[in-house]
Amino acid sequence: MFSHLQTAGAQVLSAGGSDWVVHSVNGKYPADEAYFLHFILHFFEESLMGHAELDGITFANWLKERRAQIERGELVYIAHQMDFLARV
């Protein structure tokens, strides 16, 4: 991302990690975490279903199991992102 911003003529003023950790507490998601997790799975499904290099049955089974884990309060989602502040 640094090089893309620089190529676009931007000056990176700040950058840093922005981690997400979504998990249940005592087997329950305390707020809208379950909705968020279902949304993430829906995004994966919409983006990848029918992809030539992905076995559709295996992927459908993977989605089914992840959804079941959400319902049981077992799924943990961890994402590491980078945030940038840049000036053009």
**CB count, 10 Å around CB of 77?**
15
**DSSP secondary structure letters along 28-72:** B-SSSHHHHHHHHHHHHHHHHTT-TTS-HHHHHHHHHHHHHHHHT
* Cβ neighbours of residue 46 closer than 8 Å, sequence gap 6 or more: none
d(CA 66, CA 1) in angstroms, rounded, equals 30
pLDDT band at 62 (very low <50, low <70, confident <90, very high): very high
Q: What is the pLDDT of residues 9-49, one digit of tens each?
A: 999 999 999 999 999 999 999 999 999 999 999 999 999 99
Residue with tokens 């975490």: 33
**Tell me, what's the pLDDT at 48?**
95
Per-domain boundaries in the chain: 15-76
